[in-house]
Structure 1
Amino acid sequence: MNRLTTIVLATALGCMGVLAAGPAAGASARFGCQYKVLWPTAGVYEDPNPNSVVVKTKHAGDIVGASTCEGAGHNEYGYVLVTTDAAADGRGWMREDAVVQI
């Protein structure tokens, strides 16, 4: 319930122009890592490697993230952790090139 209240309040304040670049950055750190999807479509992988199963697809403009900031690599690919119900453990991975941190 507290997270929902916080999201509603943050949305309302953002619409009113109360949040600026400084406070938004601080809020992001308190709520973990949030990313905006850049690619037209980007897969959410079960594990952080290109041969893993894609459990979900996200689209440009979608906001994704997790309560902790984690990354992983496989060969030349970098991945960031995102929360998803579609993954067996609730942890999905997206290519870091497909997103930008907000």
Structure 2
Amino acid sequence: MHYLVITDISDPRRLRLAARVCERWGERVQESVYLMELDTEELFQLQTALHKILHHNEDSARYYPLCAMDIARSSGEGLGRGLQPGAAHWII
């Protein structure tokens, strides 16, 4: 499953830690926005890792699932490779 993960972290140190975690799992597409392809267990591991970093009264992380159609309709310019539909997806 593809996810758009967005963080909003107030402390620069926690922001760097969270960025390192997110970049292990996916591609940074903007300052605090990441595209990831995760299965259920990987999503849980990511959420657990971020939960340990965030101060929940100051920071947030949001996980938005993307369907194959979202990926197929997406486009972009510039840096980054983006997520490509897998072999199991047909684009017509």
TM-score (norm 1): 0.28
More strand by share: 1
TM-score (norm 2): 0.30
